[in-house]
Amino acid sequence: MGYSTASNNQDQGVGAYVADLQLHMTLQARNLVPNLTQARDSREQLLQQTQADLEKFISRQTL
């Protein structure tokens, strides 16, 4: 039983680490792409939609 508890604690630790890493990566990515403003052209609109889709996909991932 001790193994199960240790494994569970380790899984929780890994989950917390992954969540922190995802948050950090999202914040970093926001510095690499323009802020969401009114798109001036189709390229900017595609970039904004791709960014939003990627953030939704990442936020819904589970271990």
Mean pLDDT of 28-45: 75
Amino acid at position 47, single letter: L
Per residue in 39-58, pLDDT (tens digit) is 788 888 888 888 888 888 88
Mean pLDDT of 28-41: 72
Going by C-beta distance under 8 Å and a sequence separation of 6 or more, which residues neighbour residue 55? 26
Q: What is the pLDDT of residue 1?
A: 46
Residue of 3, 59, 1, 61 whose CA lies nearest to 26: 59
Q: With bands split at pLDDT 50, 70 and 90, how would you rate the model's confidence at 5?
A: low
Mean pLDDT of 26-48: 77
